[in-house]
Structure 1
Amino acid sequence: MRHLFLALLLATSLTTGCGGARETPVNGSGIPETLRVGLIPNISPEQQRAKYEPFAAYLERRLGVAVELFVASDYAGVVAALAGGRIDLAYLGGLSYVQAEQQVQLTPLVTEIDHATDSPQYVSAVVIRTDSPYQDLKRDIVAAGRTFAFGDVSSTSGSLYPRIMLTEAGATCSPRRVDECPPLAKVTFTGGHDATAQAVLSGQADAGGIELRILRRLEKEGKVPAGRLRVLEERRVQGYPWVMRAALGERTRAVLTEAFTSIEDPALLDLMRAKRYVSVTAADYDEVRRTAADLGLLTVKQ
């Protein structure tokens, strides 16, 4: 009996340990009793976790469950946590969403209506120093063989869409080697939008890809001197989706979607960069899937 007890104890620890997937108890509404929420680090992980604590508190009040926030050191870490069943709900960029769905069945729930565009889209921009002489992406950056900074390799507005703009301007970005984009002399990955802004400001890169609303927030917070970076080219991007593991079921999808679309607190909405939330479907990210496949970014880069 003692050996049987030890065997059962070991089996339980293997299936419920924090390093892997586990059975998730749910409450009467179908929501996990502890809802594990993952966030991509589009700014430093510590800042991202602190920023979303009020949202976690809102979900706890609204849903009557405990909420745990998880921020990985990079985008791929959040995708891996979804695939491993270690988180239930996640805030992803469009690119990290289509990468994640290669590994785990996901249901997209909502995205935010952006303040600047008044739509479910936001802006990806190629930026340069304001005091630089560059005026044209094709002539002054690509053809001239300048240096370029991307954010995280799995960032939609810091990697995928800047790569689209560079390709349209004549660069031959390799679908096999993400760090090769001739005739650019060198491309680097900074890991985040804030780091990309600093790389361009300091002259480590001649130009960089960044989410424009993050740049504007960095300027507002005094982390980037206002007016020191100038937009050279931009594209609109389908908004960040909140997604859940499809295994949680339709009832959970409905409850979580309502929790987002019911947010009315202006302070909370502002903190989350949203005027309000609207539902999205997998089809809303078809352009991201297609271009990510064409440019070799559909697979998560480790």
Structure 2
Amino acid sequence: MIRALTLRALTFWATTFFASAITASALAQQVLRVTTIPEEAATEQVRKFGPLTKYLERTQGMKVEFIPVNDYPAAVEALVNKQVDLVWFGGFTHVQAQIRSGGKIIPIAQREEDTKFRSVFIAQKNSGITKLSDLKGKQFSFGSQSSTSGSLMPRSFLLEAGIDPERDFKRVAYSGAHDATIASVVSGRVDGAALDITVWNKFVADKKVDTSKVDVFFTTPPYFNYNWSVHADMPAAQREKIKAALLALSMDNPEGKEILTLNRATRYIATSPENYKGLETAGRSAGLIK
């Protein structure tokens, strides 16, 4: 009798212990960790993605943490190593993450604007720079070395025009972020630079740059760019639920309008890995992918 009671007690204890462990594990997983490539200052990232974080908490039914990273490679490593669950990548960082992970990164949504994205080249109005060939012998700044719109594609179009930055520029700099790129031209630290067209348009709209002194002298042809990506190990149901929430954002309601406007988007649409093959080709041609 005592032995039977002991066995029942042990069974009850074990069942309770494992149930608690499973519950604790489930609760530990109820946090969606989000980050983004740091294309702008950290304060701007937090401001821009704050409303989206709250929206995802509501639609996903779990806590969402926005975790800023220091540089573009850190965003790549964070998703590859599953330290975060959802990342806003540039097209090139998405490609880098795909290569680093052995093809385990899944793009789930992009802005409609990202299907025909462009970069702009800017210079001071009194610099005499009016076309790409005028940059020869000048000091030039890209953004981050891992930036699609601030490095990879501008470099690709320069090479197409017969201009090798390392050979033809007096100095090549990397600002690290698009807003810093603009500042480097405004201050005269460099003669010309390339950056994301949407960041430039935002600076112009917000009157943060005087276009009578610094303006665009060349706009690139279109290419695919940014996306939201997840790791392939994320459960398919969760991935689809996040994707559905992003695609449901609409300019027709206050919440959607705020989020989309902050993200410089009109709406999100579905995307696929095939859309970024051209960027991988460009990266290899430019020597940025070995």
Asked whether the 8 Å contact 1:157–1:237 carries over to 2, the reply is: no
* Residue 243 of structure 2 corresponds to residue 257 of structure 1: yes
Tell me which protein shows more helix as a share of its residues: 2
Measure, in 1, the Cα distance between the counterparts of 2:126 and 2:52: 39
* Residue 267 of structure 2 corresponds to residue 276 of structure 1: yes
Moved more, 269-278 or 245-254: 245-254
Residue type of the alignment partner of 1:155 = S
The Cα of 1:32 is off from its aligned counterpart by: 4.6
Aligned pair count reads 259
The Cα of 1:60 is off from its aligned counterpart by: 0.3
SS in 1 for 2:123: strand
Query: Kindly tell me: are residues 227 and 35 of structure 1, through their superposed partners in 2, closer, same or farther at Cα, counting changes over 3 Å?
Result: farther
Query: Kindly tell me: are residues 70 and 217 of structure 1, through their superposed partners in 2, closer, same or farther at Cα, counting changes over 3 Å?
Result: same
Q: Deviations over 1:177-211 (max 9, x none)?
A: xxxx1111110001111111111111111110111
Residue type of the alignment partner of 1:152 = S
Residue type of the alignment partner of 2:242 = L
Hey, what does 2:91 align to over in structure 1? 94
Hey, what does 2:62 align to over in structure 1? 65
Measure, in 2, the Cα distance between the counterparts of 1:98 and 1:261: 22
Hey, what does 1:151 align to over in structure 2? 143
Hey, what does 2:276 align to over in structure 1? 285
Hey, what does 1:120 align to over in structure 2? 115
The Cα of 1:128 is off from its aligned counterpart by: 1.0
SS in 2 for 1:237: coil
Measure, in 2, the Cα distance between the counterparts of 1:163 and 1:25: 47
Asked whether the 8 Å contact 1:98–1:288 carries over to 2, the reply is: yes
Measure, in 2, the Cα distance between the counterparts of 1:26 and 1:220: 45
Hey, what does 1:107 align to over in structure 2? 106
Structure (1 or 2) with the larger CA radius of gyration? 2
The Cα of 1:227 is off from its aligned counterpart by: 3.9
Measure, in 1, the Cα distance between the counterparts of 2:225 and 2:129: 29
The Cα of 1:249 is off from its aligned counterpart by: 3.0
Residue type of the alignment partner of 1:113 = E
The Cα of 1:271 is off from its aligned counterpart by: 1.1
SS in 2 for 1:293: helix
TM-score (norm 2): 0.84
Residue type of the alignment partner of 2:171 = K
Hey, what does 1:20 align to over in structure 2? none
Hey, what does 1:162 align to over in structure 2? 154
SS in 2 for 1:131: helix
* Residue 223 of structure 2 corresponds to residue 237 of structure 1: yes
Residue type of the alignment partner of 1:110 = A
Structure 2 spans left out of the alignment, 5+ residues = 1-23, 251-255
Match for 1:187 among 155, 165, 172? 172
Calculate the aligned-residue CA RMSD, in Å: 1.9
SS in 1 for 2:107: strand
Query: Kindly tell me: are residues 137 and 37 of structure 1, through their superposed partners in 2, closer, same or farther at Cα, counting changes over 3 Å?
Result: same
* Residue 135 of structure 2 corresponds to residue 141 of structure 1: yes
Task: Map 1:177-216 to 2 at 5 A.
Answer: 181-216=166-201
Query: Kindly tell me: are residues 227 and 261 of structure 1, through their superposed partners in 2, closer, same or farther at Cα, counting changes over 3 Å?
Result: farther
Structure 1 spans left out of the alignment, 5+ residues = 1-23, 174-180
Q: Percent identity?
A: 29
Measure, in 2, the Cα distance between the counterparts of 1:62 and 1:219: 34
